[in-house]
């Protein structure tokens, strides 16, 4: 596989060299693309140093902070233009363990999209209080039932896509920018009738730097999901009466 791992960054100077080093050890055959949104803490300079030292590492500098979704779309287009056939989404903060990636890549033999899942047997989180687990589980459950996507971890951002899957999803149609981008991508994958499979991962809390997540972001995502569910309801009813088979999902 000509795989590339896309890591969006904003103020991750403390983490980026550490996570790229772990990634290169865990999956040495994979390339790395760091997509930096002009981080004021110098993340882009650190990334340039990594790229200068390792030809498998590239950096895409963007003019400013435009959101997670925009960063991933830019990185995915960059990778597709250069012929990569497997594209991975990974955070820079260490919550997505590079050591879990080999199992996720191996699962592509039976799927088009792999979700690194916290909420299937064998998966879990480390260092989260009960209320954060409850918010994540409830958010995923709501999105799963509202949109009819049979995935237990709808909001997790550790993903693997084949290039064909991304072409069928149509990145131009995925307009969400932040937290909701991950839900949006899975919904479009479902509509495109792609095979989606969840692979258990362990998700530790970040050790360094600050999280970009907030209650406002989660609330906005749930509002968007509600709107999508209402808008897609007539089409889902028509498909149900037409007895069209559901899009494939495997575990």
Q: Per-residue confidence of the chain (251 residues) as pLDDT tens digits? A: 899 999 999 999 999 999 999 999 999 999 999 999 999 999 999 999 999 999 999 999 999 988 899 999 999 999 999 999 999 999 999 999 999 999 999 999 999 999 999 999 999 999 999 998 998 899 899 999 999 899 999 999 999 999 999 999 989 889 887 678 999 999 999 999 999 999 999 999 977 665 555 556 666 777 888 887 787 656 655 555 665 555 555 55
Task: Specify the pLDDT at position 210.
Answer: 59
Read off the pTM: 0.88
DSSP output for 215-226: HHHHHHHHHHHH
Phi and psi dihedrals of 169, rounded to 5?
-70, -35
Q: For the chain, what are the domain ranges? A: 3-250
DSSP output for 161-173: EEHHHHHHH-GGG
Task: Specify the pLDDT at position 217.
Answer: 65
Burial class (CB in 10 A: 0-12, 13-18, 19+), 237: exposed
DSSP output for 152-208: S-SS---EEEEHHHHHHH-GGG----STHHHHHHHHHHHHTT--EEEEE-EEEPPSS
Determine contact, residues 68/181, Cβ cutoff 8 Å: yes
Please give the CATH number for the structural domain made up of 3-250.
Answer: 3.90.550.10
The backbone region for 192, taken as left when phi is positive above 0, alpha when psi lies in -120 to 50, beta otherwise, is alpha
Burial class (CB in 10 A: 0-12, 13-18, 19+), 209: middle
Angle, CA 129 vertex, CA 128 and CA 132 arms, to 5°:
80
18 CA to centre of own chain: 20
């Amino acid at each position: 596989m000509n795989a590339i791992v896309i890591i969006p960054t904003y103020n991750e100077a403390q983490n980026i060299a550490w996570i790229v080093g772990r990634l290169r050890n865990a999956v040495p055959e994979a390339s790395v693309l760091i997509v930096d949104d002009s981080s004021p803490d110098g993340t882009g300079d650190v990334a340039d140093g990594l790229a200068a030292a390792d030809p498998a590492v590239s950096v895409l500098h963007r003019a400013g902070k435009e959101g997670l979704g925009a960063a991933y779309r830019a990185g995915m287009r960059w990778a597709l233009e250069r012929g990569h056939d497997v594209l991975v989404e990974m955070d820079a903060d260490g919550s997505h363990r590079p050591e879990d990636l080999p199992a996720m890549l191996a699962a592509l033999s039976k799927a088009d999209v792999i979700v690194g899942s916290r909420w299937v047997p064998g998966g879990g989180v480390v260092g989260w209080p009960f209320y954060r687990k409850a918010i994540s589980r409830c958010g995923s459950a709501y999105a799963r039932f509202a949109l009819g996507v049979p995935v237990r971890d709808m909001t997790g951002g550790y993903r693997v896509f084949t290039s064909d899957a991304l072409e069928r999803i149509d990145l131009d149609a995925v307009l969400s920018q932040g937290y909701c981008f991950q839900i949006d991508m899975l919904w479009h994958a479902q509509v495109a009738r792609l095979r989606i499979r969840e692979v258990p991962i362990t998700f530790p809390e970040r050790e360094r730097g600050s999280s970009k997540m907030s209650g406002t972001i989660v609330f906005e995502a749930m509002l968007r999901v509600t709107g999508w569910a209402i808008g897609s309801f007539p089409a889902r009813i028509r498909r149900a009466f037409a007895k069209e088979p559901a899009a494939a999902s495997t575990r």
